[in-house]
Amino acid sequence: MRTSLLFPALLLGCSDFNLEGLGDPQGQKDSGSDTGFKPDEEDLGSCSPDEFPPESVPLSDTCHFEVSGFEPVVVWDVEGNACSQPAVGDIDSNGMPDVVVTLGWLFEAQGELVAYTGEGDLLWETRGAEIAYGSGPTLADLDGDGQAEILAVRLHKYNLMSNSQVSVVMFDSEGNELAESDLYVDGEFDQVTGIAVADMDHDGHAEIVAGRVILNDDLSERGVGRSGRGCDNFVGLSGLWGEGAMPAIADMDLDGVDEVVVGDAFYDPDGQEIMKTHGDDGAPAIANLDSDPEGEYVRATYSKLVAHDTDGSEMWTFELPGSGGETEGIMSNASIADIDGDGLPEVVAARANNLWAVNGEDGSVLWKAKITDTTGATGASMFDFEGDGIQEVVYIDEVALYAFDGTDGTLKFKSDEHNSDTLYDYPTIADVNADGHADIVVTHDGNFGSGGAAFSVYRDKNNSWAPARSVWNQHAYSITNINDDLTVPKTATPNFTTYNNFHSAQALPPGEGVGAELEGEILETCADDCDHGWFVVTGRARNTGTSIAPAGLSLALYAEKNGELTLLDVQVTTTATPSGMSSEAVSFIVESGDIAKADTLVMEVDDNGSSTGIVTECTEDNNEAIVKKPFCE
C-alpha cells in the first residue's frame, strides 16, 4: 500500500503547463454542471490513448543500496516441527509482512497453521485444522477485500503408500476457516502438495490448483486432469511410489490463457489435457530455455532432469548419479536462474548427497557441491544477497543450511543448526520485516538438530543484504505470479518473458534495489468539447524502477482548489508495465463544471481514489503530474 505525497512530473501536451507540488489527495467528487453528450474514446482525437503507445523510459537512481557482505545469523525462530514451504506476505493489510507456516511432523501427519509478524510475534494458530504435514500454505487475496486468504491441504486419512484422503481448505487472515473443497484421494493430490493460484482465464476470479485438481475461488471443483499431478516419483519400499504434487501455472504458449503444468501434461482451466508427453510425471520448473519467446519447463523425475519444449518434446536429459545406486533417493524440485551471469538460465537440483547446477540450454554441468541428503526432495532458491551481480544458491538438506557461490559452487556459508525430513521444502527469500533488506526463512524438524526450532529467520549480521520483495506466497513462486498486496494478477505477465527464473527472488545489477518506481506523466489536454461540458486529460505512468508494475494499476484525477482535492475519475490499466517502460495511456473525460473553479488538476499514479494503491515503490513521493489553468474558457 502506498501513501500519497506530491512531486513534480514531466508534463507534455498542447497547453502551456507549470510544474507545482500539492498536498495529499482526499475528498469526494462534486456534482457537475449540466452537460451534453459525453464523447467516446474513439472521438478524442489528439487525446485518444491510442495516440500514445508505451515507450521506453530511463531508470531512476532512487532504487539504490550499498554492496554488502554475507554473514547470516538467526534473528528469531519458533519452536516445534515443520517440513513444508514457509510463505511470506502482508495477510492483514497493515503494511507489514507476515510469515505463515504449517507446523507438523512426518510421524504426526496432521498439523496446524501458524502466522507470525515479520518481527516474530504470534498472530494466530489454528486448532484442530488437520493440516497435512508436508503441505505449506499459499497466500492470496482471492476476493479483493484487502485481506489475504490462506489455502492449505487438510489430511483426513493418512496412508504413507497410497489412498490418503485430502481436501483444500481456506482460512481468512485471522485463521478462521472459510471453506473446504470436496474430498480427494492421493491420485489427484496428497499430503505433500504445493497449492498454486492464478487467474488462468483472466476473468477476475482466481483458479486454485492442487495437483491435477482445478478449483474455483470458492473451492468448488472446476476440473480434474487425467495425467500427472506434478509428482516426482521414485522407487520406494513397495515398488513404484510417488509422494508430492507440485504443479505450476503459466501461459506457456502465450495464447492469452494460462496452462497448469505438470511433468507429463498441460491442462486448460477446465482440466482438459492440451499437451501430453511420452514421459513420466514430475515436478515442473518453468523458464525460457531457448531462443523462441514461449516457455519451456524442466521436470524432476526419478533420478533425472528432463527439459521439455512448449509442445512437450524433449530438449535434453541429465541423469543425476546416485551415491549408492541409480534408484537412491528422490529428486528435488528444480530451481532456475542465471546464477553465473552469462545471461542464460541455469537449473539447480539435488540428489544423493550432491547439489548440481547445469546449463539450461543443453543440460551440461556447470558445477556440483557436496551436501548430505540421501532421501532428497528439498530444493534450492537463489538471490543476489550482496548486490555484486553474483547470485547465491541457498539450499537445505537433512542436516544443514548452505549458501553457495552461483558461478562455481564454492561454499560461502553452512549452518549445522538444522534438521529436515526433506519434503519439498526449500528456503524462502523475502524481506519479512519491511526494513529494505532480504531475509531467509527456513523450516526445521525441531526434534533433531535445530535447537528445537520449527522455523528460523536469518538476516545478515550487519543487516546489509540487498532489498527484496516482502512476498513469497506459494511453493511455485515465480515473482510475477502475485502482486505485492497478495492480489492475484488478472493477466499475469509470464515470468519467463521478464525475469526468467523459478524459485528465485529478483536479482538486480550491482547497487540497484528492487521495486517499481512510478511517476505520473500528462500527455495531452483537450478542450474541444468544452462547449458541450467536457474536458479531457490523457496521461500515463512511467516505471523508472527495477521491477514490473502489475496490470490493474489505478490512476486517479483530482481537482485542486486552495489545497483541497476533489476526486474526479479513476482509470485502470489493463496490462503490466515492465521496468523501464511507460504504461498504456488512459483518458479522463471530466465535466467542465467540476473543474471550473479548480486551481490545478492532479493526476496520481497508483491511487484507487482513496490515496492507496497496490505497488510498493522505492520512493512514494513522486507519483503526481499537475495541470494548471486554463482548462475550459
510 part of a folded domain: no
Query: 24: which residues sit within 8 A by CB, 6+ positions away?
Result: 3, 4, 5, 6, 565, 611
Same domain assignment for residues 252 and 153: yes
Over residues 139-156, the pLDDT tens digits come to: 999 999 989 999 999 999
Does residue 21 sit within a domain? no
Q: Look at residue 86 and tell me whether its pLDDT is greater than 50.
A: yes
Question: What's the mean pLDDT in 383-400?
Answer: 90
What CATH number corresponds to the domain at position 268?
2.130.10.10
Q: Residue 292 has which C-alpha cell?
A: 523462441
All three cell numbers of 511: 547497487
Residue-level pLDDT at 253? 97
Q: Both 190 and 209 in a single domain?
A: yes
What is the structure's pLDDT at 447?
A: 63
Task: Say whether both 463 and 527 belong to one domain.
Answer: no
Q: How many Cβ atoms from other residues are within 10 Å of residue 317's Cβ? A: 12
In a domain, 147, yes or no: yes
Q: Looking at the 3D structure of the chain, how many domains does it have?
A: 2
CATH of residue 595's domain is: 2.60.40.10
pLDDT for 133: 86
The answer to whether residue 20 scores a pLDDT higher than 70 is: no
For the stretch 580-624, pLDDT in tens is: 899 999 999 999 999 999 999 999 999 999 877 778 787 878 899
Question: What's the pLDDT score for residue 372?
Answer: 86
Tell whether 450 and 540 lie within a shared domain. no
- Do the domain assignments include residue 485? yes
Sheet holding 600-605, edge to edge: 564-572, 554-561, 600-605, 624-628
Same structural domain for residues 588 and 531? yes
Verify that 355 and 247 share a domain, yes or no: yes
Identify the H or E element spanning 592: helix 592-595
pLDDT at 528: 86
pLDDT of residue 24: 37
Stated pTM of the model? 0.76
**Residue 214 within any structural domain of the chain:** yes
In the listed set 469, 497, 525, which residue is the last one of a domain according to the structure? Answer: 497
**Which H/E stretch holds residue 595?**
helix 592-595
Give the HSE-up count for residue 4: Cα atoms under 13 Å, Cβ half-sphere: 25
C-alpha angle with apex 605: 607 to 515, nearest 5 degrees?
A: 100
Q: What's the pLDDT at 450? A: 52
| Mean pLDDT comparison of 20-29, 197-206, 619-628, highest-scoring range | 197-206
Among 439, 468, 497, which residue terminates a domain? 497
Last residue of a domain, one of 462, 497, 532: 497
- What pLDDT, on the 0 to 100 scale, is given for residue 333? 85
pLDDT for residue 507: 64
Tell me if 504 is assigned to some domain: no
Domain match, 55 and 100 both: no
Q: For 88-135, how does the pLDDT look when each residue is reduced to its tens digit (9 = 90+)? A: 999 998 888 999 999 976 666 789 999 999 999 999 999 999 999 889
pLDDT at 322 (0 to 100): 61
Residues 221 and 297 in one domain: yes
55 and 77 share a domain?
no
Examine the domain organization and report whether 467 and 547 are in the same domain: no
Average pLDDT over residues 441-452: 74
> What is the pLDDT confidence band of residue 11, given thresholds at 50, 70 and 90?
very low
Indicate if the pLDDT at residue 313 is higher than 60: yes
C-alpha cell at 149: 486468504
Q: Is residue 212 part of a domain?
A: yes
Q: Which domain holds residue 100?
A: 72-497
80 occurs within a structural domain: yes
Residue partners of 379: CB distance under 8 A and separation at least 6: 332, 333, 334, 335, 348, 349, 350, 395, 424, 425, 426, 503
CA distance 492 to 482: 8
Same domain, 488 and 578: no
Residue predicted with more confidence, 514 or 207: 207
d(CA 389, CA 66): 12
Confidence of residue 529 (pLDDT cuts 50, 70, 90): confident
Same domain, 413 and 526: no
DSSP state letter for 594: H
pLDDT in tens, 268-291: 999 999 999 988 999 999 999 999
Picking from 222, 293, 216, 295, the residue whose alpha carbon sits closest to that of residue 259 is: 295
Contacts of 43 (CB under 8 A, 6+ apart): none
